[in-house]
Amino acid sequence: MPVRKTPPRKRLKPAEQARIAELFDRFEREETDPRTELDYHSPYTLVVAVALSAQATDVSVNKATAKLFAAADTPAKMLALGEAGLKPFISSIGLYNTKAKNVIRMAEILLADYGGEVPLVREQLQALPGVGRKTASVVLNELRIEPAIAVDTHVFRVSHRLGLSTGKTPDKVEADLMAVVPEPYLTRAHHWLILHGRYTCVARRPKCDACLVADLCPSRHLFAG
């Protein structure tokens, strides 16, 4: 496995560095070991679940994979199921036709090139059908193999509201976060920000009164009253 690289750090003013450190200290006190809300029990079921979650909710994916993984939870079983057999399990998920093709093609590659195991090296992982950079980041981070902060709509919104990034693209927000999140928290920041955006710092009418970092948030005044 390649040596993990420490991301370049951004030089911050002491007060801002202390504010950001306190943000993540509080997130840690609230939830020490945050994890994905997708159901999985192996690297393979994780990568399939994350790939299926594109433009879908975790709830809808978990509903589908509960039955799917009972029938096929390895590349060999998935390949035996086939594209036609897979589709009924995931038909409730958006883009299921394309996702079915990708999942079956992924199973073929894993069996042919990796002995049926998921490669946990970024370059190989994100080259798999239906994976790409964002899914690879989620998988590697969830398995605590590589610190990564995949940026979805929740992470994008919360990062801007908390003053952690002004980036206009997910890639720029990711780079900003990797540069300012305290290193001890890099493998957990992704989940903290997602959960905070999903349940507290929601898109409309954020729950500032129930927010554990409201006093540290530069955007709170925008939602007062």
User: How many Å apart are CA 59 and CA 80, to the nearest integer?
Assistant: 26
The answer to whether 185 and 142 have CB atoms below 8 angstroms apart is no
The answer to whether 43 and 118 have CB atoms below 8 angstroms apart is yes
State both tokens at 60: 């809808």
Candidates 194, 204, 171, 197; CA nearest to 50 is 194
Which positions are annotated as active-site residues?
Answer: 134, 152
Measure the CA angle with vertex 192, ends 162 and 125; round to 5°: 115
The answer to whether 86 and 71 have CB atoms below 8 angstroms apart is no
Candidates 197, 200, 189, 199; CA nearest to 34 is 189
